[in-house]
Structure 1
Amino acid sequence: MNSSYDVADYVEAPKDVSSLEFKDEKQQARFELGVSMMVYKWDALDIAVANSWGGPDSAEKRDWITGVIVDLFKTGKIVDVGLIEETLLYAMVDEFDTNVEDDSALPIAAGIVRLYRECDALNYSNVERLYVEWQEKQARKTDARIVEVKEDPMNPDVSDSEDDEQEEVPMLAEDVEMDIDEPNKPETIIDEDGFELVTKKGRRR
């Protein structure tokens, strides 16, 4: 995997500019979104967050890592792929007690540098694509959670009430069939609302 990415690849601010932060708010906002989407795309970090390896605030730590990467560009005149990769790996060790050795941070770092160049050229197509992919992934997770909620006993207002209604329907159907099959079935009366009233045999006696 290392051969596909150059750890020495870098972006540098112009001589008369103190940092790599974009002065245009839209450019900076798109770039920060792109960084966030790349960080969320990192499978090693996603697994760590899903399993709460960083504790109950694992999700917040992921967002903090995004902020750390963004700050590299806000405070530095030169940022290379190697620096971003090291920052990601150190954050995993410090915040999630996880030593990632599969080089998976390298394409994430290289992708962030590439997104910076694209945003500098006012090209936001990849940022928008990454965002759409993230939204679709979240939607799939939401659909999975909805199925679980229906079966969750901690949500009686939704699941229990619906289950009760579903259970009552076949019971009513069975009662009707039993009345029809009984001998000497009593006469029925239709009320003004169209409902069928069945008088008890005891009263007819």
Structure 2
Amino acid sequence: MEAPKQLSAESQSIFREGIGLVLSQWSALRMAVENEWGGRDSRSKAEQLGSDIFSWFTQSKEPLYIDDLENMLDEGIESAFNAILDDGSVEEVAEKLMIMHEECLDGNFSSIGSLRETSRKRVAHPHVRQVVNEDEDDDDDSEDDNNDIRDGNRASNDSSEMMIDAPQSVSNMIPTNMPVAEPTPKVEEDGWTVVGRRRNSRGKRN
């Protein structure tokens, strides 16, 4: 059986960064880390998951299949954070990683560049929220005076910007000791293509 192609040294470094960006933008994992589902070392556990994924891609001697990666993500979330995901986000994240790996093999880092840009915008959100709150206060003052229409317009514009910046979907993080919610439909992101599987259906653990 033919071994998988290997990334160059430069591609490995960029691909590792890409894995970190994908995981940092995974709503379910972010929720687990921020709320310390895995204890005080939740952030370290998330970083370890990223390292395990990188090793799987770079050290495997067998062909890489997306369903194996999905199982790794499922097991990693369950063991590290005592939770299960049933929102379709595992499949989405696995698909992104598989495609990103294929692109890096070809020296194409455009997807990682897009992830960097998204990450920079997310970092700016807390500041934007603060500005919006201040403008809303100014708007309340202007309503009392009824003489500052421009401030009201500016607050309205800022509110519109916040609606655009708000996350489009929130992953469903479920503790293992709670009933599993019905899965929500999977939302495909533009720009990602479908990756084939080794098996006809994903092997779920009982």
Shift of 1:112: 0.5
Identical positions, percent: 24
What are the equivalent positions in structure 2 for 1:99-178 lying under 5 Å apart?
A: 99-141=84-126, 143=127
Shift of 1:140: 2.3
Residue in 1 that maps onto 2:157: none
Give the alignment's TM-score, normalised by structure 2.
0.57
Between the aligned partners of 1:144 and 1:48, the Cα distance in structure 2 is: 24
Residues paired across the two proteins, number = 130
Cα deviation code 1:152-199 (max 9, x no counterpart): xxxxxxxxxxxxxxxxxxxxxxxxxxxxxxxxxxxxxxxxxxxxxxxx
What is the Cα-based RMSD across aligned positions, in Å?
2.2
Between the aligned partners of 1:37 and 1:58, the Cα distance in structure 2 is: 17
Shift of 1:29: 1.0
Shift of 1:131: 1.5
Give the alignment's TM-score, normalised by structure 1.
0.58
SS of the residue 1:99 aligns to = strand
Residue in 1 that maps onto 2:66: 81
Q: 1:131 to 1:120 in 2, by over 3 A?
A: same
Between the aligned partners of 2:6 and 2:25, the Cα distance in structure 1 is: 23
Shift of 1:98: 0.6
Shift of 1:146: 8.4
Cα deviation code 1:14-37 (max 9, x no counterpart): 94x6x5541x22111111111111
Amino acid in structure 1 at the alignment position of 2:58 = K
Cα deviation code 1:13-60 (max 9, x no counterpart): x94x6x5541x2211111111111111222111111111111111111
Between the aligned partners of 2:65 and 2:121, the Cα distance in structure 1 is: 30
Q: 1:50 to 1:20 in 2, by over 3 A?
A: farther
Shift of 1:136: 2.1
Residue in 2 that maps onto 1:91: 76
Between the aligned partners of 1:144 and 1:90, the Cα distance in structure 2 is: 36
- Tell which has more relative contact order, 1 or 2 (C-alpha 8 A, sep 6+): 2
Shift of 1:145: 10
Residue in 2 that maps onto 1:163: none
Residue in 1 that maps onto 2:16: 32
Runs of 4 or more, structure 1, over 4 Å off, are: 144-147
Residues 39 and 66 in structure 1, CA contact (< 8 A), matched pair in contact too: yes
Q: Which has the larger radius of gyration?
A: 1
Long gaps (5+) in structure 2: 132-206
Residues 6 and 105 in structure 2, CA contact (< 8 A), matched pair in contact too: no
Shift of 1:115: 0.4
Q: 1:55 to 1:102 in 2, by over 3 A?
A: same
Q: 1:67 to 1:146 in 2, by over 3 A?
A: farther
Between the aligned partners of 2:44 and 2:6, the Cα distance in structure 1 is: 23
Amino acid in structure 1 at the alignment position of 2:44 = E
Long gaps (5+) in structure 1: 1-13, 148-205
